[in-house]
Amino acid sequence: MAPSPDRDIRLLFPLPLATIASQSSMASIPPLFVGMSKDFDVTIGQVGQVRSISALTAVLATLAVGGWIHKRGARPVMLIGGLLGALGALLSALSPDLATFGVGQAVTGIGICFLLSSGFAGAGEFFAPEARDWAIGWVVALQSLAWIIGVPIVGFLAEAFSWQYGFAVPMFFCLVAAGSAMLFAPKLDPHIRAQDERTGLLAALTDRGGRRWTIGEMLAFAVWTAEITYIAAFYSEEFGLSEAMVGLLLPLGSLAFMVGSSTAARAGQKWPRRLLLIGSTLAMGIIAAALFNFYPFLLFTLVLAVAMGIAAGLRAAGSSTLALDQLPDKPGAMMAARTGAVQIGYLIGASVGGLIVDASGYGGLGAFMVIGMAASALVMSGVPARDESEPTA
């Protein structure tokens, strides 16, 4: 199959399902932190740190996944990732203690890596450059359904039964993603790809633009993860909300994320892509500082969460498109780098965020986000963009 220049919905279909499954594997856990900490007799921060094991195994999997996608295409990687994600969710649900939960998260992490990398790489593999921005926008936007649909169901199941039942949601999404890859994802024609020994993560890290982008993305996700990992516990502890109510509130930010990411392509036609990325990154840090340090009443906090979601959507879509600009003939390499950056970010954000919450409360988390987002914006300012006639490197 050659990349299509058309906005073909049939080619797009399996891609957001893969990213929805990967996001569900991550998003479904924070609403369960409170119940898990009680059953395992540990702190919320400790649960978050063990959850970060999935990020570690996902990072290790990126060492191979880029080359596999380049040689075999997104389809088989997507299929295997869905099956591994479902298995990891099952093992996590059956965990009797925190250590066993870590084993389930280790398997989940590999599934997340495969699903996330193949879902985004497919936008570059299935679509020609003229349709790629459109495809990326929808892949980024629709992954929010894991929060909008999945998280409320997770909260309901946890409140009605127990936290173990919440893992049925990521298991379902992962199985659907595997099925969609088998039925709808096209097979790669290996002859249309550049034949280069640097096909995986190495290709991205040896390219100057790819390397700078990877570092900038890692910094952004390191601090954003701290917010999305502990926001559910923040709502529960600071406002006294139940798990079911938290599950209903979290999708507000995700709806805003969908709005931001789905409009990113149009916004990129009015403003330089890199400028839009830097602005939205800085906005996320500033909003986070206010959200975690000044919360006089719930409605005010929810308004800030919506603003954060819009900025995050703009940043995520713009950043993913900028990544494909670096090595347009090797989407698997850059999306392996994206997955590695995202998962290292999750590893840092969940671990460091847990330490900050335990040591200095949620206010320290807001300060952590401001510093990290400013650092990410600084690094991203040197990444070349296709929509600039004279990019700087």
Longest dimension (CA), the chain: 60
Other C-beta atoms lying within 10 Å of the C-beta of residue 285: 26
For the stretch 119-169, pLDDT in tens is 888 887 888 777 777 788 788 878 888 878 888 888 889 888 888 999 999
For the stretch 42-73, pLDDT in tens is 887 788 778 778 878 888 887 777 778 877 88
For position 391, what pLDDT does the model report?
Answer: 41
For position 193, what pLDDT does the model report?
Answer: 52
For the stretch 19-32, pLDDT in tens is 999 989 987 887 78
For the stretch 68-124, pLDDT in tens is 887 788 889 999 999 999 999 999 999 998 889 999 999 999 999 899 889 888 887
Stretch among 143-157, 169-183, 189-203 having the lowest mean pLDDT:
189-203
Burial class, 160, CB count within 10 angstroms (exposed 0-12 / middle 13-18 / buried 19+): exposed
Other C-beta atoms lying within 10 Å of the C-beta of residue 155: 27
Model confidence at 4, pLDDT cuts 50, 70, 90, reads low
Residues whose CB is less than 8 angstroms from the CB of residue 94 and which lie 6 or more positions away in sequence, other chains included: 100, 104, 164
Comparison of pLDDT for 268 and 7, the residue scoring more:
7
Q: What's the CA gap between 184 and 162, in Å, rounded? A: 35
Q: What is the mean pLDDT of residues 7-13?
A: 80
For position 201, what pLDDT does the model report?
Answer: 65
Identify the DSSP state of 329: T
Comparison of pLDDT for 327 and 288, the residue scoring more:
288
Average pLDDT, the chain: 83
Beta bridge partners of 127: 4
For position 20, what pLDDT does the model report?
Answer: 94
Task: Give yes or no for a contact between 119 and 184, defined as CB atoms under 8 angstroms apart.
Answer: no
Other C-beta atoms lying within 10 Å of the C-beta of residue 189: 11
Q: What's the CA gap between 156 and 165, in Å, rounded? A: 9
Reply yes or no on whether the pLDDT at 198 is more than 80.
no
Residues whose CB is less than 8 angstroms from the CB of residue 247 and which lie 6 or more positions away in sequence, other chains included: 31, 151, 152, 153, 154, 155, 156, 158, 159
Which among 97, 8, 2, 105 has a CA at the least distance from the CA of 50? 105
For position 295, what pLDDT does the model report?
Answer: 87
Q: What's the CA gap between 336 and 330, in Å, rounded? A: 10
For position 392, what pLDDT does the model report?
Answer: 38
For position 303, what pLDDT does the model report?
Answer: 93
For position 197, what pLDDT does the model report?
Answer: 42
Q: What's the CA gap between 284 and 288, in Å, rounded? A: 6
Burial class, 173, CB count within 10 angstroms (exposed 0-12 / middle 13-18 / buried 19+): buried
Look up residue 269 and give its amino acid: Q
Domains (range + CATH), the chain: 9-190+199-380 (1.20.1250.20)
What DSSP letter does each residue of 365-390 carry, written as one string? Answer: HHHHHHHHHHHHHHHHTTS--TT-SS
Q: What's the CA gap between 256 and 90, in Å, rounded? A: 30
> Percent of the chain at pLDDT above 90?
28
Identify the DSSP state of 270: H
Beta bridge partners of 234: none
For position 216, what pLDDT does the model report?
Answer: 92
Give the chain's length: 393
Reply yes or no on whether the pLDDT at 192 is more than 60.
no
**pTM: predicted TM-score of the whole model, two decimal places:** 0.74
Stretch among 101-115, 185-199, 373-387 having the lowest mean pLDDT:
185-199
C-alpha 380: how far from chain center: 18
Q: What's the CA gap between 345 and 286, in Å, rounded? A: 19
Reply yes or no on whether the pLDDT at 388 is more than 60.
no
Which among 300, 5, 257, 260 has a CA at the least distance from the CA of 130? 5
What DSSP letter does each residue of 53-113 carry, written as one string? Answer: HHHHHHHHHHHHHHHHHHHH-HHHHHHHHHHHHHHHHHHHHT-SSHHHHHHHHHHHHHHHH
For the stretch 226-244, pLDDT in tens is 887 788 888 888 888 877 7
Q: Is 49 helix (H, G, I), strand (E, B) or coil?
A: helix
Comparison of pLDDT for 10 and 265, the residue scoring more:
10
